[in-house]
């Protein structure tokens, strides 16, 4: 079972993902893609960490998600992957995006091979104006296309707005 949870910044998507993971009755592996490069991001990461139960295993991986999922998404486990758009940012900035296609394809190819429960969190960034800068427009395009590919491979897709989840595809909450 793959759940894709989409939403804007501070929309409630992380809290929803955490609640789904808590309620599934399986050991949880939290895969974190964020990197703490400034005080504000360190604060955000600390907020997320403080909400996680101590029994959850945390794996930090900013680039090689397919490898981590292959190893961690096993039968009887729940993997909560947060966040696809931070991972995308890491790839786009790492080496001018040279590894982006390779890592995106690896992620999309591994998804149908996984067992257990997977909850993926991603930002929906295409609902506003088209950004002015080339890098920002490229990110918005890449995020939108990746979210479409993930949604096609997911059993359930949920859009979270103002803390209210709306099921777009799959079983109701």
Q: Which residues are known catalytic residues?
A: 48
- Terminal-residue alpha carbon distance, the chain: 14
Q: Prior bond to 83 cis, omega within 30?
A: yes
Q: How far apart are CA 116 and CA 129, in angstroms?
A: 38
Q: Which of 67, 102, 81 is nearest to 28 (CA)?
A: 81
Give the CA diameter of the chain: 45
Q: Please, what is the Cα angle at 58 between 72 and 60, to 5 degrees?
A: 85
Token pair 């599934």 is found at 24
Whether the Cβ atoms of residue 38 and residue 49 lie closer than 8 Å to each other = no
């Amino acid at each position: 079972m793959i759940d894709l949870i989409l939403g804007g910044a501070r929309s409630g998507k992380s809290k929803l993902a955490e609640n789904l993971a808590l309620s599934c009755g399986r050991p949880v592996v939290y895969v974190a893609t964020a990197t703490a490069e400034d005080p504000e991001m360190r604060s955000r990461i600390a907020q997320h960490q403080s909400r996680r139960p101590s029994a959850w295993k945390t794996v930090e991986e900013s680039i090689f998600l397919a490898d981590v999922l292959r190893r961690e998404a096993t039968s009887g486990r729940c993997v909560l992957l947060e966040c696809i758009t931070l991972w995308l940012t890491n790839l786009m900035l790492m080496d001018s995006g040279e590894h982006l296609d390779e890592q995106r394809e690896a992620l999309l190819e591994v998804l149908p091979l996984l067992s257990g429960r997977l909850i993926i969190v991603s930002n929906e960034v295409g609902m506003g104006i088209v950004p002015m800068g080339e890098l920002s427009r490229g990110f918005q395009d890449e995020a939108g296309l990746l979210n479409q590919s993930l949604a096609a491979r997911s059993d359930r897709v949920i859009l979270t707005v103002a803390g209210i989840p709306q099921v777009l595809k799959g079983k109701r909450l």
